[in-house]
Amino acid sequence: EDKVVQSPLSLVVHEGDTVTLNCSYEVTNFRSLLWYKQEKKAPTFLFMLTSSGIEKKSGRLSSILDKKELFSILNITATQTGDSAIYLCAGNAGGTSYGKLTFGQGTILTVHP
């Protein structure tokens, strides 16, 4: 059974802090690892990672994948209150899974002013 585990489950920081969110995975025929941000609505796509060691970056957010150790991290630098959200990671299995994703529990990030 595929499994994705995120840590920490919740995190409270102040504006300007840097945070690191963790995601470990056990996914059969692993193809990619995806990160989503969920505010009070639909999850929105952040990154997709397929290769080890190649950092994906978007503004203050960055992410990297380690396929040997089976984990990914999401870094957010200079956090802002607008970064408060649930961050979800998901593993995608290849083969004939039709793009099925296995999600972790999510990390609830709260950024105080």
Please give the residue ranges that form the binding site for other proteins (CB under 8 A). 4, 6, 9, 31-32, 34, 36, 41-45, 48, 88, 90, 92, 98-106
Minimal distance, residue 56 CB to other proteins, in Å: 12
Closer Cβ to other proteins, 14 or 57, answer by number: 57
Partner residues linked to 75 by β-bridges: 20, 62
> How many CB atoms are located within 10 Å of the residue 32 CB?
18
Minimal distance, residue 58 CB to other proteins, in Å: 14
User: Do residues 16 and 79 make contact, with C-beta atoms less than 8 angstroms apart?
Assistant: yes
Sign of CA dihedral 37, 89, 109, 76: negative
Closer Cβ to other proteins, 12 or 78, answer by number: 12
Closer Cβ to other proteins, 76 or 90, answer by number: 90
Minimal distance, residue 98 CB to other proteins, in Å: 4
CA dist 21 and 23 (Å) reads 7
Closer Cβ to other proteins, 45 or 113, answer by number: 45
Minimal distance, residue 41 CB to other proteins, in Å: 5
CA dist 8 and 83 (Å) reads 16
Q: Three-state SS for 82?
A: helix
